[in-house]
A = this chain, B = another copy of it.
Amino acid sequence: MNRVRKIHMNRNTLVEEFIEVLGKAPKVALFSHVSPDGDCVGSMLAIGLALEKMGKEVSFYNPSRIPSNLEFLPGSSRICQQLPDPQPETLMFVDCTDLGRVNLSMSDISKVSTVLNLDHHISNQNFGHLNWVDSQASAVGELALTLINLLGVEIDGDIATNLYTAIVTDSGCFQYSNTTAQTHRLAADLLDKGIDLSDIHHKIFDQKPLSQIKLLQSALNGLEIHAKGQLALMTLSLEDFHKSGAEQESSEGLVNHARGIAGVEVAVLLKEVGPLEIRGGLRSNRWLNVSEIAAQFGGGGHSRAAGCTLRVPIEEAKKRIIAMVEEALRIGRDY
């Protein structure tokens, strides 16, 4: 095959070439990104299990440990933190915007390998020889399901469990705005394979470590409401993490408890990650562009979700954030 990047290739031709490369490959190495989530792990495993059903030799790589709530995924114990050596001729990257997401650079890739890049991020860097990037897909799992169907592999319960997990996690249980009619139709096809819905949901979502619940408790105990109910702010000190026994990553999603309060436009979680290092996570519900607020502190993000770091004591960080948000709310709307 032609080894130049085929970015602007017709979609059907591109998909056909993906199928052709995979069809011919005796060995395939699959890669997924650091801080693995349900979509990259589930999609990678589903594709790998499908390729194995075609008689291929498959290896699975992820630079991080797989989170405990995803360990139930069929094939998950096969995922290695060591790069395949030697590298097979066909490498496939799943859900990775660029090689940096796998802690790799171009020099790590064998010159004779064909690089397949399957992703749904609009910011994908098209680093592969073939780049199947579809930002309309709620999850790479949608593309993986299409791919497996086109490879002609019968989807069994194990593959379906992986694909369903990929889709349900990246679409936020079909709640995020990236969810489309197609997302639901694909989920329906997977349910037809007889997967155990309650078991999957229980394993993915319902098993939080006690430390995470204690961290939520600390966050709620520090909840403050400002700007006539439009700003809800929570803080987590190093001491809170220490007392609860929770890791820094456990605070992910906590800000949504503040965002979900009726009347709140902006929710903020300030967490102390080190002495004089306060990380702020900002969310808005309807109209305020929080990336502009984050930018004032040298951070950035999207209009409804942004972040920044303040190198001041936590009480001072709180004062500055409150003042800035109140000002933005005042400018945006008279209140």
Q: Which residues of A contact B (CB under 8 A)?
A: 68, 168, 173-177, 179-185, 187-189, 191-192, 197-198, 201-202, 205-210, 213, 216-217, 220-221, 223, 225, 229, 257, 259-263, 285
**Which DSSP category, helix, strand, loop or mixed, fits chain A's interface?**
helix
**Complex: chain B residue closest to A201, CB-CB:** B175
Number of copies: 2
Q: How far is the CA of A187 from the CA of B260 in the complex (A)?
A: 24
Complex Cα distance, B259 from A206, in Å, reads 8
Find out whether the CB atom of B260 lies under 8 angstroms from the CB atom of A207. Answer: yes
B261 near A209 with CB under 8 A, answer: yes
Q: Which of B188, B223, B229 contacts A184 (CB 8 A)?
A: B188
With contacts A192-B181, A285-B202 taken as known, whether A213 is within 8 angstroms of B261 at the C-beta atoms is yes
From known contacts A197-B175, A208-B261, infer whether A188 and B191 are also in contact, taking CB-CB under 8 Å. no
Inter-chain contact A174/B174, CB cutoff 8 Å: yes
Residues in B with CB closer than 8 Å to A179 are 191, 197
- Assess whether B176 is in contact with A173, with CB atoms less than 8 Å apart: no
Is there contact, CB below 8 Å, between B174 and A187? yes
Tell me whether A197 and B213 are in contact (CB under 8 A): no
- CB of A126 to closest CB in B, whole Å: 29
Instruction: Choose one: B202, B216, B261; the contact of A220 (CB below 8 Å).
Output: B216
State whether A208 touches B177 (Cβ < 8 A). no
Cβ B173 vs Cβ A181 within 8 A: no
How far apart are A302's CB and chain B's nearest CB, in angstroms? 13
Neighbour of A189 across the interface among B181, B205, B225, B259, CB < 8 A: B181
- CB-based nearest B residue for A200: B175
Chain B nearest CB from A1 CB (Å) reads 36
A-B pairs with beta carbons under 8 Å apart, 6 shown: A181-B192, A184-B188, A185-B185, A202-B285, A206-B285, A213-B257
12 other A-B residue contacts (CB within 8 Å) besides A177-B198, A210-B261: A168-B174, A175-B198, A176-B198, A181-B192, A185-B185, A206-B285, A208-B262, A209-B262, A210-B229, A213-B260, A217-B221, A217-B223
Query: Nearest-CB distance from A41 to chain B (Å)?
Result: 19
Contacts known (A202-B285, A259-B206); A181 close to B188, Cβ less than 8 A = yes
Given the interface contacts A184-B184, A184-B191, does A213 sit within 8 Å of B220 by beta carbon?
yes
